[in-house]
Amino acid sequence: MENKKKSSNQTLLITLMFFMLLSNNIYSQKHSFKVITIAMFETGEITGDEAGEAQLWYERDSLFLEMKIPGAYSPLYYNKKGQGLIIAGMGTSNAASTIMALGLNPNIDLKNTYFIIAGVAGTSPKVCTIGSAIWSEWIVNGDLCHQIDAREIPEDWEYARFRLGCNEPWCDNNDWISGSEVFRLDSALTHIAYQLTKNVELLDTDEAQNIRNRFSENSQARRKPFVTIGDNITGNTFFYGKIISDWADWWVKKWTNGKGTYYTTSMEDSGTLTALKRLADANIISYNRILILRTASDFDQQYPGKTVEESINDVWLGFPLAIENAYRVGSVVAREIINNWEIWETKFSLSMNNNNL
């Protein structure tokens, strides 16, 4: 009798240990994602009001599940298809800290994840127009520079901002290097994204066309919105005006050795990419699975015949177009990745060692 009781207790103990191990295994399994969209801000609630950069993704892709990410600006919203969404927060500091918190979360496996950074931006009327969608290969940091008050710059200088460590607008100085001056994304992936989306029908309005018509007849600014590839200058300063737009074009060309062309101005992308690059160096993500899509909500300079002061806070009729078109274009790529995961899982499996110029 005593032996039977001992045997029964041993069986119960073994059964309990089995279920404990099974339970621990279930809870220790990491969430993996095929694609995560990174938005920068939401104008109000995540659903049910005027949409910011995150709301359309949340509502239309049913990203109703939530995972708390300690240290991040927002939870990670997701569905059971392997699709996620996180709001990084406005500015480089918020973006860098949110993405680092996401990458270091022990409950998530991001090694095979594609990231689509999708948000609004300003654009130059020389090359683009409001409502357009721009995929970027080069991202240049516009904050890391010297600046002299424009009233005090030398007479032969065009701009008040110049390269760190130089006594002239530009010099080859490698002593003042942070490693986050310029980033290059995977060219092949960027061009695939463009090919997949170049014919997407973009939202437009007559009111937005009236804004475009303020520019000269043959300019890119007068065009209907379109999908293209162009490069991105990023920084916390919301600059505005023709002179500083010309500086941005010059700055992008300098940092990319003439390979890049300035199309969009954003706030967060150097912070986001700094975090992603560090995570890639730690083999937590794959750097060559990153895409940046910016949609033009406004022009970066005054309209012809207007001053900067008169134009800078003019009605932003391009904002709702940019919000809608970011989803229309970006979601095409997200769906392609999710629906054809057997191809995309290994398509860009080799990580580039050094993606900075």
Residue 156 lies in a domain: no
Structure tokens at 199: 């014919």
Task: Check if the beta carbon of residue 123 is closer than 8 Å to that of residue 263.
Answer: yes
Q: What domain range is 333 assigned to?
A: 34-144+180-347
Task: Check if the beta carbon of residue 304 is closer than 8 Å to that of residue 214.
Answer: yes
Residue 106 lies in a domain: yes
Q: Which residues pair with 118 in a beta bridge?
A: 293
Residue 84 lies in a domain: yes
Distances (CA, A) of 110 to 104, 133, 194, 309: 10, 26, 24, 45
Among residues 76, 80, 88, the alpha carbon closest in space to that of 38 is found at 88
Structure tokens at 294: 């910016």
Please classify residue 4 by burial: count the beta carbons closer than 10 Å to its beta carbon, then call 0-12 exposed, 13-18 middle and 19+ buried. Answer: exposed
- Using the CB atoms, write b or e for 131-140: b if 16+ within 10 Å: bbbbbbbbbb
Show the CA angle centred on residue 320, arms to residues 328 and 245, nearest 5°: 100
Residue 294 lies in a domain: yes
Number of compact structural domains in the chain: 1
The pLDDT of residue 312: 84
- DSSP H or E run through 300: none
pTM: 0.89
Residue 341 lies in a domain: yes
The string of pLDDT tens digits covering residues 148-178 is 999 999 999 999 999 999 999 999 888 899 9
Q: Who's near 45: CB < 8 A, 6+ residues apart?
A: none
CATH code, domain with 138: 3.40.50.1580
Q: Who's near 59: CB < 8 A, 6+ residues apart?
A: 47
Residue 3 lies in a domain: no
Residue 29 lies in a domain: no
The pLDDT of residue 199: 98
The pLDDT of residue 133: 98
Task: Check if the beta carbon of residue 115 is closer than 8 Å to that of residue 84.
Answer: no
Please classify residue 3 by burial: count the beta carbons closer than 10 Å to its beta carbon, then call 0-12 exposed, 13-18 middle and 19+ buried. Answer: exposed
The pLDDT of residue 8: 52
Q: Of how many residues is the chain composed?
A: 357
State how far Cα 236 lies from the chain centre: 14
Among residues 146, 345, 355, the alpha carbon closest in space to that of 251 is found at 146
Residue 310 lies in a domain: yes
Ranges of the chain whose pLDDT falls below 70:
1-28, 315, 349-357
Helix 269-281 / helix 92-104 crossing angle, nearest 10 deg? 30
